Amino acid sequence: VAGDRLYAGSSSVRVWDIAQSPPVSLHTLTGHTDSVVALAVTGDRLYSGSSDNTIRVWDITQSPPVLLHSLTNHTGNVYA
């Protein structure tokens, strides 16, 4: 959660506006090829870790969020 945004992972990352009642799905961030198992928000960046052995770095100041980097040198699932 960052402000009024909730980020939820499955096979993609869903962005929710939780200030709305009921919450509204705003965006679906795609690119991972397996389950998203880790999410972290720091400042204006969202980091998503996946069972596809990658971390994706998103700029969450943009609407929709923009993929900045795909970190691919992991040899196993990324859980944190």
Q: How far is CA 46 from CA 17, 21, 22, 60, in A?
A: 15, 24, 23, 6
Residue 12's CB is within 10 A of a number of other CB atoms, namely 16
- pLDDT digits 0-9 by tens, 15-62: 999 999 999 999 999 999 999 999 999 999 999 999 999 999 999 999
The pTM of this model reads 0.92
- pLDDT digits 0-9 by tens, 6-28: 999 999 999 999 999 999 999 99
What φ, ψ does residue 29 adopt, rounded to 5°? -95, 115
* Residue 66, beta-bridge partner list: 59
Residue 34: predicted pLDDT: 96
Does 80 score more than 90 pLDDT? no
